[in-house]
Amino acid sequence: MERGIEHSGAWAIALIVIVIASWFLYRYLAPKTWREWAGAGLIQAFIIALYAEMYGFPLTIYLLVRFFGLDRSYLNSNLWSTLVGIGETGMMISMIVGYVLLFTGFGIFLQGWRELYRAHKENRLATGGLYSLVRHPQYTGLFIALFGEGIVHWPTLFSIGLFPLIVLVYVRLARKEEKKVIEQFGEEYIEYRRNVPGFLPLKGNWKQFLGNS
């Protein structure tokens, strides 16, 4: 690339954001089994790759220019801004939409965590609030947050590639978790699973789902 790219080189900020995001990740996911650690590890890689490019070095832009002939006439560290060619406006739009999804997803994740924590303390099945609409609201919130930050706000080759792997790992993890819950609650959970979708609310329940977060 013949000239410098704006919004890059701030490695100190990248490190701070990575540490903070990683703290929240392990604080609330609290992995215990190897499958949980594998999922958390993928998200950790997602976080590092994302913020290292966002604030450090725009590797995705460099690779697209170097090997895929991306137009050099206007380059910005934000991929959407570069591809669409509308400069800072494109980056601002992607940032606003991405942050809306990020904070919405994070809110859903935290609310699901609280409801599940209360249910565990009371030794009962979590079926109210968000859990009345989907069986795994924490994972739904996690997917929305990662999609908003790593696909909409600041897409990179690594975040785009890791996102479907993260979804796959946590869908498989959810199935393993459900087997354990069936062992504990038996027919009560089987009936609950029969009536409540796994990750996405029914069409008419999205407003209630987002409102409960």
| 3 within domain boundaries | no
- In angstroms, what CA-CA distances link 57 with 63, 65, 168? 11, 14, 28
Looking up residue 107, the CATH number of its domain turns out to be: 1.20.120
| Per-residue confidence in pLDDT tens, the chain, 213 aa | 444 455 567 889 989 999 999 999 898 888 888 888 999 999 999 999 999 888 888 777 777 777 766 655 666 667 777 776 666 777 788 889 999 999 999 999 999 999 999 999 998 999 999 999 999 999 999 999 999 999 999 888 899 999 999 999 999 999 999 999 999 999 999 999 999 999 999 988 888 888 766
Spell out the SS3 assignment of 145-172: HHHHHHHHHCCCHHHHHHHHHHHHHHHH
CA 176/CA 189 separation, integer angstroms: 14
Among 127, 16, 27, 5, smallest CA distance to 75 is for 5
pLDDT of residue 72: 59
Please return the burial class of 6, using the count of CB atoms within 10 Å of its CB with bins 0-12, 13-18 and 19+.
Answer: middle
Total domain count, the chain? 1
Q: Which residue has the tokens 């991929």?
A: 79
In a domain, residue 2? The reply is no
Indicate whether 193 belongs to any domain. yes
Q: Is residue 63 part of a domain?
A: yes
pTM value?
A: 0.87
Largest CA distance in the chain: 65
In a domain, 175, yes or no: yes
Cα 209 from chain centroid (whole Å) = 17
Residue 168 lies in a domain: yes
pLDDT, residue 76, reads 65
Q: Which domain holds residue 77?
A: 11-212
* 151 domain residue, yes or no: yes
Residue 94 lies in a domain: yes
pLDDT at 192: 95
